[in-house]
Amino acid sequence: MINKHYAIIGGGINGLAVARQLLLDFPESNVTVFEKEDGVAQHQSSHNSGVVHAGLYYEPGGLKARLCRRGAELVKQYCLENNIAYDECGKVVVALNVVEEARLESIYQKAIANQVPDVRMLNAEEIKEVEPNCIGTKALYSPRTAIVSYGDIAKKIAEEIQQKGGHIILGKKVVRLTEKNNKVTVHLSGSHSDSPSNNEQHDNAFDQVITCAGLQSDRLAAGSGDTETPRIVPFFGQYYVIDETYKAYVKGLIYPVPDPNYPFLGVHFTKRIDGQMTIGPNAFISLGRENYSGKDYNAADIYDFLTYKGFWKFSSKNMPAAMRELRTVLSQTNFVEQAAKYVPSLAKVSVTPATRGIRAQAMEADGSLVDDFVIRKQGNITHIRNAPSPGATSSLAIAEYIVREVMTH
């Protein structure tokens, strides 16, 4: 693999991490990153909670569990080595009743199996020692859960790539890949059109290409000969920043116990690396894969999910969840009330909207959500088809896995 020419499609944290790993493992190789925006980390990498997940929830033995644990260690090390802010603020997952306590015990057993450091169960009195204003009957405490700015990490990795001789080409949208005679051609759009057209340009042929296209991953993969599914269905998550006067009411992260009847987690408290305290996110269908303002729409994106049978099957199975989430979309008061179940003293706190995140949710044709990471190699092309949370936490470990395991087979 030495002296080969690699292309990485996508300048988010996962694409940049893969490019960096190639240059670390094969310093003589030629590495080029293609990013359609005018800067790196413009999408999910800079629109997320900033949490460095410890690995509490993930099925032991799965890719998520393995790569999250390794990734969390690598992120911490990278931040310390590069003087990037890293706050080990800790996290409590709080049960409010006996039903949730049973689910919490199951999460605790997964956390132990995943070797999450220093996790322990707290009773109602012990919760107050960690989060004085939080109420609950029991909680799972993960003191090593941390927060960072993944946007800052991604920008630092981009600098490192260029220092090591790699190339980052901005403002170039890759529309498809073709492979012939063991070489992969990268086809670039001369405009922002998704479909191949007369103004399509090509770049040189590459020995191997890795696609890390996030919200556009299914389109690029399917257009390059990979399977049509899973498809990406975009869900936005709104965050609110609470009144600064009250930010000290919560010390770190306060999460609900996941309800198996709902596909998404629900509103929680998340400290941000700038010191502000946020509540969020909800989860509702987005009218555009990159509609961060919530004021726009993208007709092609809407058409894609409305004509996908998987979306309708998912919707029919999750109507109660949709109604719960819709209430938080329509009412700021309802949003705050959801969070105040855990910190009642913040029931009337004023909030201001923060930037939305958009989750690239991979969905199968039967309406099921793809839970684990999906990374698939076909010929000399490797596609990241699904890398939801903890995708950012796992980014440096995902890069190791792709470069050292997937690409060598």
Residues 112 and 40 in one domain: no
Q: What is the CATH number of the domain that holds 397?
A: 3.50.50.60
Residue 13 one-letter amino acid: I
Residues 272 and 348 in one domain: yes
Domain membership of residue 65 (yes or no) is no
pLDDT at 204: 79
Residues 116 and 209 in one domain: no
Residues 352 and 246 in one domain: yes
Residues 282 and 357 in one domain: yes
What's the Cα-to-Cα distance from 277 to each of 27, 127, 238, 291, 307, rounded to whole Å?
41, 19, 14, 24, 39
Residues 354 and 242 in one domain: yes
Residue 189 one-letter amino acid: S
Task: Give the torsion sign (CA, 114, 116, 118, 123).
Answer: negative
C-alpha 353 chain-centroid distance = 20
* Residue 199 token pair: 């103004």
Say which residue the tokens 């590069």 belong to: 82
Mean pLDDT in residue range 131-135: 98
Domain membership of residue 42 (yes or no) is yes
Per-residue pLDDT tens over the stretch 175-224: 999 999 999 999 999 644 444 455 677 777 999 999 999 999 999 999 99
Residues 38 and 183 in one domain: yes
Per-residue pLDDT tens over the stretch 225-284: 999 999 999 999 999 999 999 999 999 999 999 998 888 888 999 999 999 999 999 999
Residues 275 and 363 in one domain: yes
Residues 306 and 318 in one domain: yes
SS3 call for 275: coil
Domain membership of residue 214 (yes or no) is yes
Task: Give the torsion sign (CA, 231, 70, 275, 160).
Answer: negative
Per-residue pLDDT tens over the stretch 145-162: 999 999 999 999 999 999
Q: What is the CATH number of the domain that holds 338?
A: 3.30.9
Quickly count: other Cβ atoms within 10 Å of residue 175's Cβ.
23
Report which secondary-structure segment, H or E, holds 334.
helix 332-340
Distance CA 360, CA 215 (A): 5
Residues 259 and 362 in one domain: yes
* 273 backbone dihedrals φ, ψ, rounded to 5°: -65, -20
Task: Identify the burial level of 4 via C-beta atoms within 10 angstroms of its C-beta, where 0-12 means exposed, 13-18 middle and 19 or more buried.
Answer: middle
The share of the chain scoring above pLDDT 70, in percent, equals 97
Domain membership of residue 13 (yes or no) is yes
Q: What is the pTM of this model?
A: 0.95
- The parent domain of residue 398 ranges over 5-47+151-228+372-406
Residue 88 DSSP label: -
Residue-averaged pLDDT of the chain? 95
* Residue 35 reports pLDDT greater than 80: yes
Residues in Cβ contact with 131 at an 8 Å cutoff, skipping those fewer than 6 apart: 92, 250, 251, 252, 254, 343
The domain tally of the chain equals 3
User: What residues are paired with 363 via a beta bridge?
Assistant: 231, 369
According to DSSP, the β-strands at 208-211 and 381-386 are parallel
pLDDT at 199: 66
